[in-house]
Amino acid sequence: MRIAIAGGTGFVGNALVKKLLEKKNEVFILTRNKTNKQQSKNLTYVQWLNDDDSPEDELEGMDVFINLAGESINSGRWTEERKKRILNSRITATKEVLRIISRLEEKPYTLINASAVGYYGTSQNETFTEATRKIGTDFLAETVIRWEAEASKAEEFEVRTVFCRFGIILEKNDGALPRMALPYKFYAGGTVGTGSQWVSWIHLKDAVNGILFCIDQEQLQGPVNFTSPYPVTMKEFGKILGEVLNRPHWMPAPGFALKIALGEKSTLVLEGQKVLPEKLLAFGYEFLYPDLKAALGDIYQ
């Protein structure tokens, strides 16, 4: 297939591009600056989001567009300015993907658009699936709601659209896991906050394979939860992480201290949601790592 990717050099994008190239797909990465980017037979960099760029001229005949672009929610304290950048980076990239699609004579069959389980808001008692009607009201939920609403406009061009609602994506050197593991490496790991908050997680390999699965399943559309079928509480997560790293789980990180240190961003670790991947399971996706201990064991082997 011929696949265009926005955010192809990011955390998930890097792993996805590698997998797509292994499967002999032709990949076009949208980038603000293609200077010094190493192209190859099946890998092309296409410049976008600059005033004089016309990426649509190089993207005719794409089968799939994948939009993973957006500023990381993990970087820096959530000041009002940073929150604007987190939201605007997603909306701007998505609007440009739609503009490109609108200019193409031959529309792609599918748009895979990143999203997040933050859509559901937080709860210790509820279980969320794609059929859940309740939506959150905090910053992350509002960001995801606006992001998905923008991406859904691709359906006006009869493009099948999938929203990948990612949970916490686990990988050794990027995302949230290195920060979570750091205290354990110094023998200072322990329960974060009350420990009863839910962690809906997914191994990076399953995130990548799940995207490929969604591309292949032509009847699959709309929101799709990208989480393991077995979410855990933060206390369970910490105990298993300590066990895998052969480190003690003993020093608690009180919630009030994290709120002082991180501000509003502390909601990422102090609050959570129990999310199940009903659609992936219903369509027959088989997780490589449904179990947290096995997932962490693979990551830290």
Identify the CA nearest to 108 among candidates 46, 59, 171, 73: 59
Burial 49-79 (b: 16+ CB within 10 A, else e): eeeebebbebbeebebbbbbbbbebeeeebe
pLDDT above 80: residue 213: yes
For Cα atoms 92, 269, 76, give the angle at the middle one, nearest 5 degrees: 45
CA distance 162 to 140: 19
Does the pLDDT value for residue 33 go beyond 80?
yes
Report residue 37's pLDDT band, with 50, 70 and 90 as the boundaries: confident
DSSP state of 25: -
Q: What is the pLDDT of residue 161?
A: 98
Q: Is the pLDDT of residue 7 over 80?
A: yes
Across the chain, mean pLDDT equals: 96
Contact call for residues 83 and 56 (beta carbons, < 8 A): no
Model pTM greater than 0.85?
yes
pLDDT at 77 over 90: no
Q: Which of 180, 178, 150 is nearest to 253 (CA)?
A: 180
pLDDT in tens, 176-204: 999 999 999 999 999 999 999 999 999 99
How many Å separate Cα 76 from the centre of its chain? Answer: 18
Element (H, E) at 240: helix 234-245
DSSP string of 133-199, one letter each residue:
-----SHHHHHHHHHHHHHGGGGGGT-EEEEEEE-EEE-SSSBSHHHHHHHHHTT----BTTS-SEE
What residues contact 246, with CB distance under 8 A and at least 6 apart?
Answer: none
Give 164-174 pLDDT, tens digit per residue.
Answer: 999 999 999 99
Q: What is the mean pLDDT of residues 7-32?
A: 97
Q: Is the pLDDT of residue 220 over 90?
A: yes
Least confident range of 88-97, 102-111, 122-131, 256-265: 256-265
